[in-house]
A and B are shown apart, each in its own frame.
Chain A
Amino acid sequence: MREIQLPLSQTQKVRLQKALEQLESLSTKVNSDASVIIADSIHVNHEDGVLKGHGTADLNGEVVATLCGVVERVNKLVYVRALRSRYKPEVGDIVIGRVVEVAQKRWRLEINYNQDAVLLLSSMNMPDGVQRRRTAVDELNMRCIFEENDVVCAEVRGFQHDGLHLQARSRKYGKLNRGQLLTVPPYLVKRQKQHFHHLEEFGIDLILGCNGFIWVGEHVEAKDDMIEDQVSQSDSQVLFPNKNCVSLEEQEKNYTILETRKYISRAANAVRVLSTLGFNITLEIIKGIIDLSLSMNLDIHDMLGSEFCVLVAEKEAERRSSMKKRR
């Protein structure tokens, strides 16, 4: 991980060091003998016919590591779980990407992978919700759906001959509006059953993408959005054919109240604090940090200060030690 680059005073440095040492003592006992460096040999029993997985290579009949990380063994599979690598897509992952190109019948999305992902026009629902075959008119209107630099939420469909394919066949996927996009290392986001979270007390949506892109935005009801889109689409076609003209109704629709914007910024700063410290990003920890900052009556920009980061590290150490005692 990146070295924690915070302007720490002497007292804060000691407190942070103590909290990190406590966290290390809680988990190092399990992992200390499993970390490897590049070109280290991994001890395996060759009679069992082990499978060499990701991050390993065969060299003169010996299994060596090609990455720095932790050795994991699953039955006969031996692989190295790297902590500093790019996102590795799996089928069914929920990812957030940014549109970089609108090509013929497809959009290209940047999802922190070594090549751009492809979202086909036929792999997503049309905005009006009608299930029908895509026509040439739909191809011409692709920029009305997504244009360059839009943020899109999608699901990994699989690998095809021309690259990684995504799909957005549900109402919960699609374009993301009125929020913040954050980028964290992908290993901080664990794969869970639920990656869409609605924080009701704050009125915001939280999407933890498996590729390290995290979206914090205003809450959007899925069904109402369809009806509103239909009404505004017909209105804009009839009344305002010029795209540059933004009507007062659309301004009111795109406006987010100040209270919600503050909550969005507070949640985004909570994610940034976790990314700075290198902690796992889950819903419970994010909620805990938001509540901690609210209870201290902290300003939003003070959440990124060194004092609050040290406090978050200490709280996390207490939480994990209490969880360990509970078991």
Chain B
Amino acid sequence: METDRPDGRTPNQLRPLAYSCSILHRAHGSASWAQGETKVLAAVYGPKAGTKKNENPEKASIEVIWKPKTGQIGKMEKEYEMILKRTLESICIRTIYPNTTTSVIVQVVHDDGALLPCAINAACAALVDAGIPLKHLAVAICCSVTDSGCIILDPTKDEEERSLQVGSEPMENGIMTSVTQGAMSVNDYLHCLERGRAACASLSEFVRKNIGTKSTSEPSKAG
């Protein structure tokens, strides 16, 4: 059975993706990621000398600053910051730059559902743009379970009711971060994981194609 979605998409269809990097001049790395109407701008500064409270003598530390579109930072934004910080810490090679701090500033341009996966994708693309060594390229996706029990991918704001956000490594197909909101059964959760993993594979191909295009064209201008 299929459920009609308000924007005419099938349950497994993603919203159109838009990605660009190196758009901020003063940041060491920057990227913008949009899925449909949801858009996030990420900037990376560093590695730079850490402040006294953040310094770790053996590893680099990562600081995530979340800037909502309007209003003050609430509990939801604090949770997003923490989730994003742990996700980025798990993909960065932090032993190369001890005693340093890398700041990742995430600015929400518009929120139309699936905001946290969009922010994860933008932050990872900004880290690549800044030239920070990473173990993997992480991509994130959002699934939702409707009232009728159907699982849909990449929900909009209206469809976002009981959602699951999966961040996976495309190389090993593992899961680094999984966040659930609302209530769902175990079978629905496992189905969401399968759908999310399959969607992350196509997302990863999209990211690699775009980064690869820029990477190939760069040596001709610099060499």
Contact = CB atoms under 8 A, between A and B. Distances in A.
B57 interface: no
Interface string A54-67: 01010100000011
Contacts of A280: 222-223
Given A84-B29, A115-B49, A115-B100, A37 B130 contact: no
26 contacts: A1-B22, A2-B25, A3-B23, A23-B221, A28-B216, A31-B220, A31-B223, A37-B137, A38-B136, A38-B211, A39-B170, A57-B135, A66-B93, A67-B133, A68-B131, A69-B215, A70-B219, A83-B131, A84-B129, A84-B130, A85-B130, A86-B47, A114-B100, A115-B49, A116-B49, A280-B223
Nearest to A66: B133
A277 B208 CA distance: 24
Interface string B127-156: 011111111110000000000000000000
A37 B215 contact: yes
Q: What 7 A-B pairs have minimum CB-CB distances, sorted nearest first?
A: A85-B131, A114-B47, A24-B220, A66-B133, A278-B221, A84-B131, A2-B22
A35 to B, nearest CB: 5
B131 A39 contact: no
A23 B131 CA distance: 24
Contacts of B137: 37-39
B171 interface: yes
A35 B215 contact: yes
B99 A35 contact: no
A187 interface: yes
B110 to A, nearest CB: 22
Contacts of B100: 114-115
Nearest to A116: B49
A83 B48 CA distance: 19
Contacts of A20: 220-221
A83 B218 contact: yes
B221 A37 contact: no
A82 interface: yes
Interface residues of B, number: 39
Contacts, number: 107
A45 interface: no
Interface string A1-34: 1110000000000000000100110111011100
Given A57-B135, A68-B128, A115-B100, A279 B215 contact: no
Contacts of B20: 3
B217 interface: yes
Nearest to B46: A114
A116 B131 CA distance: 19
Interface string A176-200: 0000000000011000000000000
A31 B219 contact: yes
A285 B218 CA distance: 19
Contact of A3 (B22, B131, B208): B22
Given A24-B221, A32-B216, A66-B135, 19 more contacts: A20-B220, A27-B223, A28-B220, A35-B212, A35-B215, A37-B137, A38-B134, A38-B211, A55-B133, A57-B135, A59-B135, A66-B133, A67-B134, A83-B218, A84-B29, A84-B131, A86-B131, A278-B221, A280-B223
B162 interface: no
A24 B99 CA distance: 39
A278 B222 contact: yes
Given A38-B128, A39-B136, A39-B171, A27 B220 contact: yes
B97 interface: yes
Contacts of A27: 219-220, 223
Contacts of B220: 20, 23-24, 26-28, 31
**Which one of A23, A28, A83, A84 has the highest number of Cβ atoms from chain B below 10 Å of its Cβ?**
A84
B208 A37 contact: yes
A132 to B, nearest CB: 33
Nearest to B24: A2
B195 interface: no
B101 to A, nearest CB: 9
B16 to A, nearest CB: 20
B28 interface: yes
A66 B134 contact: yes
A26 B170 CA distance: 34
B171 to A, nearest CB: 5
A66 B171 CA distance: 13
